[in-house]
Amino acid sequence: LAYEILREIVDGIPVSLFDTDEVTKSSEYIEGLSKRARAGVVVAQDPKTGGILALVSYPSFDSQKMISNITSKELAEMESAGSFPFFNRAIGAGYAPGSTFKLVMGSAILEEKIATPATSIFDTGSISVAGYTFKNWKLDGHGEVNLLRALQVSNDPYFYIMGGGYGDITGLGIERIHKWANQFGFGAKTGIDLPGEITGFVPDADYKDWYLGDTYITSIGQGDFLATPLQVNVMTGFFANGGELLRPLVVKSVEGAGNGAANGNGQNKKEVIAKDFVSPSTLATVREGVLRAASPGGTGYPVYDFADHHNGVVVAGKTGTSEYIDSNGEYGTHAMFTAWAPYEDPEIVLTVFLEGGGSGAHDAAPVARRLLDYWFSDLRTVLP
């Protein structure tokens, strides 16, 4: 067969990555760790630098095949696979963030003075407006709920009410929800040094004929709201590191000087996207709520006893479960768990997303637990 050389191969520039090979390898076992998901994502970040420790999108492919003797038939089979192995779901796919968005909502509620940490509602399991009923995931309700309790048990009516208003509570309204989502990086690219990143989508009243129910659903991170798993991880990093939204970086250093974000030594610099837009008191309250979510009584039960097995290392984490309708018109749920550890001086921010994978508590959180077990045990013995 005849062939044409389109461009001669040239040597690349040597680079060093933030990526920790050991945690990436462990993350690639997502197929075996999750029994229900058809696809999934693991993102791990250093909350102090924004350096990406792992960015795994499953199903994937063997990159070594692409530089060897892959046949056109093999390539066609990979491209036609319904699982889309060439698609980087971590940065190129948008999903409803579900209850992980309640961290942003909690911040907005306090900063906009919609409520104080002590303000409570009484949840009976649902609220009804204009003939429509908006349910809590726990159908018999959680009873008296303030912000800390709402984050701990992932209560939905609290965020419906504080987001859209109900009775004598005005609520944020979609304009302010949209503003705060944008402030935390949703609806915009994170700026990661990889191609193929999308912005996601944060709906507002200009997007469609808007109703109060739309605001309620957006308040719990569902509906038409779309975010990448990386955006959720970056948002989580803000709470982990004490209030800095960091640009995620894959490349740690480039051989030679003067390469874009790299400084004179070729080292990529920590880059703060935004900071100081949430007060210390609000930050402390939301952090406490996320800690309670990963403690007894919270939804993150797979990490309750983590400190008992890892020399007192405490995990803070938030579950997320979001509904979707597939191409056959069937309802399903995505599962997410986003966390950091240790709570007080974090070294890792971890986000696990399972496409069609069930629930955040029952499915994503156990995967995250396995990965955190690995990070805080075996991995410590191999890292320099």
Per-residue model confidence as pLDDT tens digits over 34-82: 556 678 899 999 999 999 999 988 865 555 565 666 677 766 665 665 5
Which pLDDT score, from 0 to 100, does residue 205 have? 96
The three-class DSSP label of residue 229 is helix
Q: Position of tokens 């630098």?
A: 49
Residues 160-189: what's their mean pLDDT?
A: 98
Does residue 4 surpass a pLDDT of 80?
no
Q: Which helix (H) or strand (E) holds 57?
A: strand 52-58
What pLDDT is attached to residue 31? Answer: 55
Is the pLDDT score of 6 beyond 60?
Answer: no
Residue written as token pair 């200009």: 206
Confidence of residue 274 (pLDDT cuts 50, 70, 90): very high
Q: Is the pLDDT of residue 96 over 50?
A: yes
Q: How many CB atoms lie within 10 A of CB 326?
A: 9
What is the rounded end-to-end Cα distance, in angstroms, of the chain?
A: 50
Fill in the DSSP letter of residue 78: H
**How far apart, in whole angstroms, are the C-alpha atoms of residue 228 and residue 267?**
27
- Count Cα atoms within 13 angstroms, Cβ side, for 186: 30
Task: Give 132-174 as a DSSP string.
Answer: EEEE-SSTT--EEE-HHHHHHHT-HHHHHHHHH-BTTB----H
pLDDT at 67: 61
Q: Is the pLDDT of residue 85 over 80?
A: no
Residues 275-293 have a mean pLDDT of: 99
Query: Taking 70 as the threshold, does the pLDDT of residue 382 lie above it?
Result: no
What integer pLDDT is reported at residue 80 of this predicted model? 60
Percent of the chain at pLDDT exceeding 70: 78
224 class by beta-carbon count within 10 Å (0-12 exposed, 13-18 middle, 19+ buried): middle
15-59+85-382 is classed CATH 3.40.980.10: no
**pLDDT higher at 252 or 208:** 208
Task: From residue 253, give the alpha-carbon distance in Å to each of 119, 234, 261, 267.
Answer: 48, 21, 10, 4
Using DSSP, state whether 308 is helix, strand or coil.
Answer: helix
| Mean pLDDT for all residues in the chain | 87
Report the sign of the C-alpha dihedral through residues 213, 218, 220, 226, in that order.
positive
Q: Name the more confident of 331 and 110.
A: 110
Q: What is the pLDDT of residue 384?
A: 36
Q: What is the pLDDT of residue 63?
A: 58
pLDDT digits (tens, 9 = 90+) for 122-157: 999 999 999 999 999 999 999 999 999 999 999 999
pLDDT of residue 328 exceeding 60, the answer is: yes
Above 90 in pLDDT, residue 315?
yes
Confidence of residue 259 (pLDDT cuts 50, 70, 90): very low
Instruction: Look at residue 308 and tell me whether its pLDDT is greater than 70.
Output: yes
Position 261 scores a pLDDT of: 47
Model confidence at 171: pLDDT above 90: yes
Task: Give the global pTM.
Answer: 0.88
Res 255 pLDDT > 70: no
Determine the average pLDDT of the residues in 345-371.
94
